[in-house]
Amino acid sequence: MAQTHLLLTLSQALTAICLDFRGYEPQTMLFCEVLRALGAPGVTYRREPGKAGLWLSYGNQGKMRWLEGEALVDFMCRQIENANLDPEHLSLICRMVFQTPCRVDRHPDTGQPGIVVQTDMAAFQCRQCGQCCRRLDYRDGMTEADVERLKKMGRNDILAWVRTTRTIRGDIAHRIWVIPGTNEFAPTCPFLKKGVSPQRWICSIHEVKPDICRHYPVSRKHALMTGCPGFDINAPRQPAPLGNPPNK
Ligand code: SF4
Ligand code: SF4
Protein backbone atom coordinates (compact mmCIF):
# COMPACT_ATOMS: atom_id res chain seq x y z
CA MET A 1 0.00 0.00 0.00
CA ALA A 2 1.26 3.48 -0.80
CA GLN A 3 2.86 5.39 2.04
CA THR A 4 0.47 8.15 3.09
CA HIS A 5 2.56 9.99 5.69
CA LEU A 6 6.19 10.66 6.47
CA LEU A 7 7.52 11.60 9.88
CA LEU A 8 10.52 13.87 9.44
CA THR A 9 12.85 14.99 12.21
CA LEU A 10 13.13 18.76 12.44
CA SER A 11 16.49 18.61 10.77
CA GLN A 12 15.14 16.38 7.96
CA ALA A 13 12.27 18.83 7.46
CA LEU A 14 14.74 21.70 6.98
CA THR A 15 16.71 19.61 4.50
CA ALA A 16 13.52 18.62 2.64
CA ILE A 17 12.47 22.27 2.33
CA CYS A 18 15.82 23.20 0.80
CA LEU A 19 15.69 20.17 -1.52
CA ASP A 20 12.28 21.40 -2.70
CA PHE A 21 13.68 24.91 -3.27
CA ARG A 22 16.54 23.45 -5.30
CA GLY A 23 14.33 20.99 -7.17
CA TYR A 24 12.51 23.47 -9.41
CA GLU A 25 12.91 26.85 -11.04
CA PRO A 26 12.85 29.52 -8.27
CA GLN A 27 9.31 29.53 -6.86
CA THR A 28 9.17 33.28 -6.30
CA MET A 29 5.55 33.46 -5.15
CA LEU A 30 6.21 30.73 -2.59
CA PHE A 31 9.45 32.41 -1.53
CA CYS A 32 7.54 35.64 -0.76
CA GLU A 33 4.97 33.70 1.30
CA VAL A 34 7.76 31.96 3.20
CA LEU A 35 9.59 35.24 3.88
CA ARG A 36 6.33 36.73 5.14
CA ALA A 37 5.75 33.71 7.42
CA LEU A 38 9.33 33.87 8.71
CA GLY A 39 8.90 37.56 9.49
CA ALA A 40 12.66 37.83 8.96
CA PRO A 41 13.77 41.12 10.55
CA GLY A 42 15.55 43.48 8.18
CA VAL A 43 14.51 41.56 5.04
CA THR A 44 12.38 43.32 2.45
CA TYR A 45 11.43 41.76 -0.86
CA ARG A 46 9.54 42.45 -4.04
CA ARG A 47 8.49 40.24 -6.95
CA GLU A 48 8.45 41.17 -10.58
CA PRO A 49 5.58 39.18 -12.10
CA GLY A 50 6.78 36.89 -14.86
CA LYS A 51 10.42 37.01 -13.74
CA ALA A 52 12.22 34.21 -11.93
CA GLY A 53 13.88 36.38 -9.31
CA LEU A 54 13.26 38.73 -6.41
CA TRP A 55 14.35 42.22 -5.41
CA LEU A 56 15.77 41.86 -1.92
CA SER A 57 17.29 44.01 0.75
CA TYR A 58 18.75 42.36 3.85
CA GLY A 59 21.41 42.76 6.51
CA ASN A 60 23.17 46.10 6.38
CA GLN A 61 22.45 46.46 2.70
CA GLY A 62 19.97 49.30 2.30
CA LYS A 63 19.49 49.22 -1.46
CA MET A 64 17.47 46.42 -3.02
CA ARG A 65 19.35 44.03 -5.25
CA TRP A 66 18.11 41.51 -7.77
CA LEU A 67 18.66 37.83 -6.91
CA GLU A 68 17.75 34.91 -9.15
CA GLY A 69 18.69 31.29 -9.88
CA GLU A 70 21.03 29.52 -7.48
CA ALA A 71 21.87 32.72 -5.57
CA LEU A 72 18.20 33.24 -4.74
CA VAL A 73 17.71 29.62 -3.70
CA ASP A 74 20.86 29.78 -1.50
CA PHE A 75 19.49 32.94 0.11
CA MET A 76 16.14 31.25 0.85
CA CYS A 77 17.82 28.15 2.31
CA ARG A 78 19.96 30.35 4.59
CA GLN A 79 16.84 32.19 5.76
CA ILE A 80 15.14 28.91 6.66
CA GLU A 81 18.21 27.36 8.30
CA ASN A 82 19.04 30.45 10.37
CA ALA A 83 15.47 31.17 11.47
CA ASN A 84 15.64 28.83 14.49
CA LEU A 85 12.02 27.82 13.93
CA ASP A 86 10.01 26.12 16.63
CA PRO A 87 8.20 22.92 15.49
CA GLU A 88 4.82 24.59 14.96
CA HIS A 89 6.33 27.34 12.85
CA LEU A 90 8.36 24.80 10.88
CA SER A 91 5.22 22.74 10.30
CA LEU A 92 3.51 25.83 8.86
CA ILE A 93 6.41 26.42 6.47
CA CYS A 94 6.35 22.73 5.47
CA ARG A 95 2.65 23.03 4.66
CA MET A 96 3.35 26.00 2.38
CA VAL A 97 6.32 24.41 0.67
CA PHE A 98 4.99 20.88 0.20
CA GLN A 99 1.40 22.07 -0.45
CA THR A 100 0.00 19.35 1.75
CA PRO A 101 -1.26 19.01 5.33
CA CYS A 102 1.55 18.87 7.90
CA ARG A 103 1.49 18.74 11.67
CA VAL A 104 3.80 18.37 14.63
CA ASP A 105 4.03 14.98 16.33
CA ARG A 106 6.51 13.13 18.49
CA HIS A 107 8.58 10.26 17.17
CA PRO A 108 7.22 7.06 18.77
CA ASP A 109 10.74 5.77 19.56
CA THR A 110 12.70 8.88 20.48
CA GLY A 111 9.92 11.13 21.79
CA GLN A 112 11.51 13.98 19.85
CA PRO A 113 9.22 16.39 18.01
CA GLY A 114 9.02 15.96 14.27
CA ILE A 115 6.84 16.99 11.33
CA VAL A 116 4.28 14.62 9.87
CA VAL A 117 3.90 15.30 6.15
CA GLN A 118 0.95 13.89 4.24
CA THR A 119 2.34 12.52 0.99
CA ASP A 120 -1.03 11.93 -0.69
CA MET A 121 0.52 9.03 -2.58
CA ALA A 122 -2.53 6.86 -1.86
CA ALA A 123 -4.35 9.11 -4.36
CA PHE A 124 -1.74 8.48 -7.06
CA GLN A 125 -2.24 6.16 -9.96
CA CYS A 126 0.20 5.92 -12.82
CA ARG A 127 -1.57 6.53 -16.16
CA GLN A 128 1.30 4.98 -18.14
CA CYS A 129 1.54 8.13 -20.22
CA GLY A 130 5.35 7.84 -20.32
CA GLN A 131 5.75 11.57 -19.82
CA CYS A 132 8.26 11.14 -16.99
CA CYS A 133 10.41 8.70 -18.97
CA ARG A 134 10.43 10.89 -22.08
CA ARG A 135 10.73 14.35 -20.57
CA LEU A 136 12.48 14.29 -17.20
CA ASP A 137 16.19 14.85 -16.99
CA TYR A 138 17.34 11.73 -15.11
CA ARG A 139 20.90 12.04 -16.45
CA ASP A 140 23.03 11.52 -13.28
CA GLY A 141 20.16 9.92 -11.42
CA MET A 142 21.43 6.34 -11.14
CA THR A 143 22.95 5.68 -7.74
CA GLU A 144 25.88 3.54 -6.66
CA ALA A 145 23.36 1.24 -4.94
CA ASP A 146 21.46 0.84 -8.25
CA VAL A 147 24.67 -0.06 -10.06
CA GLU A 148 25.73 -2.58 -7.40
CA ARG A 149 22.26 -4.16 -7.43
CA LEU A 150 22.27 -4.51 -11.22
CA LYS A 151 25.81 -5.94 -11.18
CA LYS A 152 24.75 -8.57 -8.65
CA MET A 153 21.80 -9.46 -10.88
CA GLY A 154 24.08 -9.75 -13.91
CA ARG A 155 22.02 -7.14 -15.78
CA ASN A 156 24.77 -6.14 -18.19
CA ASP A 157 22.10 -5.37 -20.78
CA ILE A 158 21.04 -2.44 -18.58
CA LEU A 159 24.51 -1.48 -17.38
CA ALA A 160 25.61 -1.20 -21.02
CA TRP A 161 23.54 2.02 -21.13
CA VAL A 162 25.14 3.44 -17.97
CA ARG A 163 28.31 5.48 -18.25
CA THR A 164 30.31 5.99 -15.06
CA THR A 165 32.26 9.21 -15.02
CA ARG A 166 33.30 12.06 -12.74
CA THR A 167 31.57 15.37 -12.39
CA ILE A 168 33.45 18.69 -12.49
CA ARG A 169 33.55 18.54 -8.68
CA GLY A 170 35.21 15.12 -8.85
CA ASP A 171 32.20 13.10 -7.64
CA ILE A 172 31.39 9.79 -9.30
CA ALA A 173 28.29 9.95 -11.49
CA HIS A 174 26.44 7.12 -13.21
CA ARG A 175 24.93 8.67 -16.35
CA ILE A 176 21.75 7.24 -17.90
CA TRP A 177 20.93 6.47 -20.61
CA VAL A 178 24.09 6.72 -22.73
CA ILE A 179 24.26 4.97 -26.13
CA PRO A 180 26.72 2.08 -25.65
CA GLY A 181 30.22 2.84 -26.93
CA THR A 182 29.54 6.58 -27.19
CA ASN A 183 29.30 9.66 -24.98
CA GLU A 184 25.87 10.52 -26.32
CA PHE A 185 22.67 10.41 -24.32
CA ALA A 186 19.99 8.31 -25.98
CA PRO A 187 17.09 10.46 -27.23
CA THR A 188 14.81 8.53 -24.89
CA CYS A 189 15.15 5.69 -22.42
CA PRO A 190 15.88 2.45 -24.34
CA PHE A 191 13.68 0.51 -21.92
CA LEU A 192 10.53 2.49 -22.57
CA LYS A 193 8.21 0.46 -24.78
CA LYS A 194 4.82 1.06 -26.36
CA GLY A 195 1.94 -0.28 -24.30
CA VAL A 196 -1.29 -1.95 -25.35
CA SER A 197 -2.81 1.27 -26.68
CA PRO A 198 -1.12 4.12 -28.57
CA GLN A 199 -1.25 6.47 -25.55
CA ARG A 200 0.21 3.94 -23.14
CA TRP A 201 3.84 3.24 -22.42
CA ILE A 202 5.46 0.63 -20.23
CA CYS A 203 8.83 0.19 -18.59
CA SER A 204 10.35 -3.06 -19.83
CA ILE A 205 12.65 -3.23 -16.78
CA HIS A 206 9.99 -2.28 -14.24
CA GLU A 207 11.09 -4.85 -11.63
CA VAL A 208 14.68 -3.62 -11.56
CA LYS A 209 14.48 0.01 -12.71
CA PRO A 210 16.64 2.63 -10.93
CA ASP A 211 15.37 4.14 -7.70
CA ILE A 212 14.97 7.57 -9.31
CA CYS A 213 12.32 6.05 -11.60
CA ARG A 214 10.79 3.93 -8.83
CA HIS A 215 10.30 6.92 -6.53
CA TYR A 216 8.81 9.28 -9.11
CA PRO A 217 6.76 11.27 -8.24
CA VAL A 218 7.48 11.68 -4.54
CA SER A 219 4.44 13.86 -3.83
CA ARG A 220 1.42 15.53 -5.36
CA LYS A 221 3.39 18.75 -5.72
CA HIS A 222 6.27 16.94 -7.42
CA ALA A 223 3.79 15.46 -9.90
CA LEU A 224 2.09 18.80 -10.57
CA MET A 225 5.38 20.66 -10.96
CA THR A 226 6.73 18.12 -13.44
CA GLY A 227 3.65 17.46 -15.54
CA CYS A 228 2.64 14.03 -14.22
CA PRO A 229 -1.14 13.45 -14.54
CA GLY A 230 -1.21 10.64 -11.93
CA PHE A 231 -3.27 12.51 -9.35
CA ASP A 232 -6.96 13.07 -9.84
CA ILE A 233 -7.12 16.78 -9.11
CA ASN A 234 -10.86 16.53 -8.44
CA ALA A 235 -10.48 13.85 -5.74
CA PRO A 236 -11.02 15.19 -2.21
CA ARG A 237 -7.91 15.23 -0.07
CA GLN A 238 -7.86 13.35 3.20
CA PRO A 239 -6.87 15.54 6.15
CA ALA A 240 -3.74 14.46 8.05
CA PRO A 241 -4.99 12.33 10.98
CA LEU A 242 -4.40 13.77 14.42
CA GLY A 243 -2.95 11.69 17.19
CA ASN A 244 -2.34 8.54 15.11
CA PRO A 245 1.16 7.24 14.54
CA PRO A 246 2.24 7.93 10.96
CA ASN A 247 2.98 5.13 8.53
CA LYS A 248 6.72 4.67 8.24
S1 SF4 B 1 4.19 10.94 -15.82
FE2 SF4 B 1 3.11 10.11 -14.04
S3 SF4 B 1 1.32 9.06 -14.91
FE4 SF4 B 1 2.75 9.38 -16.59
S5 SF4 B 1 3.96 7.48 -16.68
FE6 SF4 B 1 5.09 8.93 -15.38
S7 SF4 B 1 4.42 8.43 -13.30
FE8 SF4 B 1 2.93 7.51 -14.69
S1 SF4 C 1 13.92 2.74 -16.79
FE2 SF4 C 1 11.74 2.52 -17.00
S3 SF4 C 1 10.86 4.02 -15.62
FE4 SF4 C 1 13.00 4.58 -15.91
S5 SF4 C 1 13.02 6.05 -17.61
FE6 SF4 C 1 13.29 4.03 -18.50
S7 SF4 C 1 11.28 3.30 -19.03
FE8 SF4 C 1 11.03 5.01 -17.61
Q: Measure 219 CA to ligand 1 centroid, in angstroms.
A: 12
**Binding pocket residue ranges, ligand 2, CB within 6 Å:** 133, 189, 191-192, 203, 205, 209, 213
pLDDT at 246: 30
Ligand 1 site, residue 130, Cβ cutoff 6 A: yes
Closest residue CA from atom 2 of ligand 2: 203
pLDDT at 195: 87
Q: Ligand 1 pocket test: which of 127, 138, 226 has the largest number of ligand atoms within 8 Å of its C-beta?
A: 127
pLDDT at 241: 40
pLDDT at 135: 82
Euclidean distance between CA atoms 147 and 32, whole angstroms = 41
Note the helical H segments in 39-197. 69-82, 87-98, 131-135, 144-152, 156-159
pLDDT at 138: 76
pLDDT at 153: 97
Ligand 2: which atom is nearest the Cα of residue 216? 3
pLDDT at 236: 55
φ, ψ (nearest 5 deg) of residue 43: -105, 120
Q: Ligand 2 pocket test: which of 150, 200, 213, 215 has the largest number of ligand atoms within 8 Å of its C-beta?
A: 213
Strands (E), the chain: 5-9, 44-47, 53-57, 65-68, 102-106, 113-118, 163-166, 172-175, 192-194, 201-203
pLDDT at 209: 96
Ligand 2: which atom is nearest the Cα of residue 209? 1
Closest residue CA from atom 4 of ligand 2: 213
Q: Ligand 2 pocket test: which of 142, 209, 212 has the largest number of ligand atoms within 8 Å of its C-beta?
A: 209
Q: Measure 200 CA to ligand 1 centroid, in angstroms.
A: 10
pLDDT at 171: 85
pLDDT at 162: 96
Euclidean distance between CA atoms 153 and 87, whole angstroms = 44
Closest residue CA from atom 8 of ligand 1: 126
pLDDT by residue for the chain (248 residues), tens only, comes to 566 788 999 999 999 999 899 988 999 999 999 999 998 778 899 999 889 999 999 877 778 999 999 999 999 999 999 999 999 999 999 999 999 999 999 988 889 999 999 888 888 999 999 999 988 877 878 899 999 999 999 999 999 999 999 888 888 999 999 999 999 999 999 999 998 888 899 999 999 999 999 989 988 888 988 899 998 756 555 544 433 333 32
H/E stretch holding 230:
none
Q: Measure 132 CA to ligand 2 centroid, in angstroms.
A: 8
Identify the nearest ligand to the CA of 227 by its number: 1
pLDDT at 7: 92
Euclidean distance between CA atoms 85 and 92, whole angstroms = 10
pLDDT at 23: 86
Q: Measure 132 CA to ligand 1 centroid, in angstroms.
A: 6
